[in-house]
Structure 1
Amino acid sequence: MTIDRRELAGFLRRSRDRVRPSDVGLAAGPRRRTAGLRREEVAQLAGMSADYYMRMEQARGPHPSPQILASPSSGSSAPDDSPRKQADLMSTPPLILLLSGSLRTGSSNESVLRTARAVAPAQVRTELYEGLAALPHFNPDDDTEPLPAPVAELRAAIGAAAAVLICTPEYAGTLPGSFKNLLDWTVGGTEICDKPVAWVNAAAAGRGLGAEATLRTVLGYTGADIVEPACVSIPVDRGTVGPDGVITDEGVRERLGTVLARLLTPR
């Protein structure tokens, strides 16, 4: 679906001005300077970063992705502009994008993320990214519009998410090359900038620290907002992984639920 950026920007501004906080269950508060919603409120309700929403409303940045066009904030499928309709559209739960740094089928990292998806509460959506193997080798010459399709899809997925949770193995004391390649493709975009990001280290106690250190460094270059309380080590016992790839250990499941909650907690 194609939509004119300026038309979308105008629609978003008008819709935000019309919807009252009470329409979406928010308190107006004594210091509110506008009767409508704030940008950050729309972004949170729509499950995207405030920066991404602001760029949409200002008609700048990349063309809105299919995920964004289908999101509550765009209202692109709305049959009318009524405040009640906009309020309904803005009630979609926030989305957490799950990124695995492993290409191995059935890896512990994938199991951690599948379990996170299984324990996510009803008010949180999750999406497991599965395009790692399709990404081309990073080449600055290709980091221009139009982007390679797998790269555009990756950036759109990040842009549509309210937060990102990573689980990656360590290889030769650092990140696997394929996952470092994924991160390299995020540097040239702004989708991950200021977005809450955390990771789970699924390796045995005392291992995987090299990968964590590299991940922290690279995320610093991207401008991601690292949520320290949500960055944890949860060693995975392969004997607790079911045939569906989901971990059955209740302690692990509880800790992953806490990670998701911390990742989305306003700070």
Structure 2
Amino acid sequence: MQASIAIKDDSAVQYLLRIGDTALVLAQRLGEWTGHAPVLEEDIALANMALDLVGQARAVLTRAGELEGQGFDEDQLAFLREERDFRNVTLVELPRGDFAVTVLRNAMVATFLKLLWTRLQQSTDAEVAAIAGKAVKEARYHQQHAADWAVRLGQGTDESRRRMDAALGQLWRYAAELFAADAVDEAAARSGLGPSWAELKAPWEAEMATILSAAGLQAPAAGTFLSTGKRGVHSEHMGYILAEMQHLQRAYPGGVW
């Protein structure tokens, strides 16, 4: 069994891991729809969005590995870290759920990533800025796709509306973690690497309000709950994701096609 790697506690690296890990884990969840989506076209669309997110994760994790300095590549960072060393937000590791859950989560995360990638195009790290220039186009499509489905489901049948309301009740409280600022965000903002995620809260809320309004949906009231995936403290679901995602590399170290 392949041993795990240990990552240095560097703020710039941690900032990038939060982005790369969030994209990677959401891609894993979207991949679970392959062969199971409600219509064939959507099966292909979700798989393609998962591939977009894998591409974003690869690029960001590659840069994180370069800054970290121990020579780890994107595969080692994806497949050889322990659960506590992943920095994705908890929202993306929650179970796949039904199609309404996927639509709402995609809308929430794509809206956030679109705003983040837009800001990262001005990063003082030229490599990060170049990654953002491509990724923002993909995030715009992901957001529009999810928004279109949100409207179709929210304004559709009683059943589709009920499921969207249930998805809001399940997922909305996890949005607070996206905007919880800490020393990692502050260091990134000072260096120009990227914005503090807290700065994206107001535009995110405005764009999500537009999407929900068009769908005839109402966001739940804000609560005090705050998930902690960005700090490596994950839900009970994360271990199962990693067991599936990392199995081949762990069982066959250095294996290639």
TM-score, scaled relative to structure 2 = 0.30
Relative contact order, higher structure (CA 8 A, sep 6+): 2
Answer with 1 or 2: which has the greater Rg: 1
Higher strand fraction (1 or 2): 1
Higher helix fraction (1 or 2): 2
